[in-house]
Amino acid sequence: MYKQSTGSAAISRVIQVSWLRAMMGLKSESRGTRLGYLWWIIEPAMHLAVYYLAFGVLLKHGGDDYVAFLLIGVVHWLWFSKSIMNASQSILVGRGLILQLPLHTSIFPLAEVFRDLIKQILVVVILMLILSIMGYFPTAYWLCYPALFLLQAMLILPCAGLVAALMPFIPDLRVIVPACLQLAMFLSGVFFSGDLVPESFHWALNFNPVYLLLEAYRDILIRQQQPEWYMLANLLAALLLFNVLVMALFGRYNRQYARIIQE
């Protein structure tokens, strides 16, 4: 099962093993707490409560739509940040298996991405229900959601893979990555709309893929309008290239990880 191969067969094997590892991780995770799968919903709800208290109540930021605005931002940002953090040390955590079996190291971050993707699907269902209860009823624009969801998954894959691939070479990333994610959260429109940013800085927002995705989610879910498909098409092209580059990085250094993690 673990013999090295090339081409589509190797990619298929990596995906299959990653998926199985993700399923095992989900079962193990649910058994490790008393509330089990409920934590998938409770955790984003806790984050939302904290941020709404800070920005919506204490700082009195936003208006009537701010709860929905913030909810969409927090739910999708947490998916992005947690996937990267969970994948970041996945190769180091899988050290025992890497030393025993000729596994492709991309299996480990990919399994973490799969696991968070499955959890996010449940969170999204809850999000849709909450928005409906709040008065944001489903419209034809909501049919665009799967395309945006897949686009965000395509963003998460190379970001998580890149961090995981570099972590064994640069251990200091354990400190750098959380700090960078914290900074990115405040620069990605999780708490603010682009209307509040001076016009001269809009070009910087348009280079932030997370900001583009969050605004697109809000466009279809609460503003009831089409997202900026031109910007998203450019993002898709860039992400296709990014994914290819990260795959090439794993292919280039795959055989070196067993030696590096032994040192």
Report pLDDT for 94.
Answer: 82
130-144, 150-164, 182-196, 213-227: lowest mean pLDDT where?
A: 182-196
Residue 155 belongs to a domain: yes
Residue 81 belongs to a domain: yes
Q: Which of 204, 211, 221, 243 is nearest to 80 (CA)?
A: 211
Report pLDDT for 13.
Answer: 82
pLDDT tens digits, one per residue of 126-143 = 889 888 988 899 999 999
Residue 3 belongs to a domain: no
Mean pLDDT for all residues in the chain: 85
Residue 1 belongs to a domain: no
Confidence of residue 66 (pLDDT cuts 50, 70, 90): confident
- Residues 224-242 as b/e (b if ≥16 CB within 10 A, e otherwise) read eeebeeeebeebbeebeeb
Report pLDDT for 5.
Answer: 47
Residue 194 belongs to domain spanning: 12-260
pLDDT top residue among 203 and 180: 180
Confidence of residue 55 (pLDDT cuts 50, 70, 90): low
Q: Which of 149, 175, 177 is nearest to 163 (CA)?
A: 177
What is each CA distance from 219 to 31, 66, 126, 185, 204, in whole angstroms? Answer: 38, 14, 19, 19, 20
* Mean pLDDT of the region 5-23: 75
Describe the crossing of helices 66-88 and 173-187 by its angle, rounded to 10 degrees: 160
Residue 176 belongs to a domain: yes
Q: Which residues contact 225 (CB under 8 A, 6 or more apart)?
A: 141, 219
**Count of structural domains within the chain:** 1
Report pLDDT for 37.
Answer: 65
State whether residue 40 is helix, strand or coil: helix
The pTM of the full predicted model, rounded to 2 decimals, is 0.86
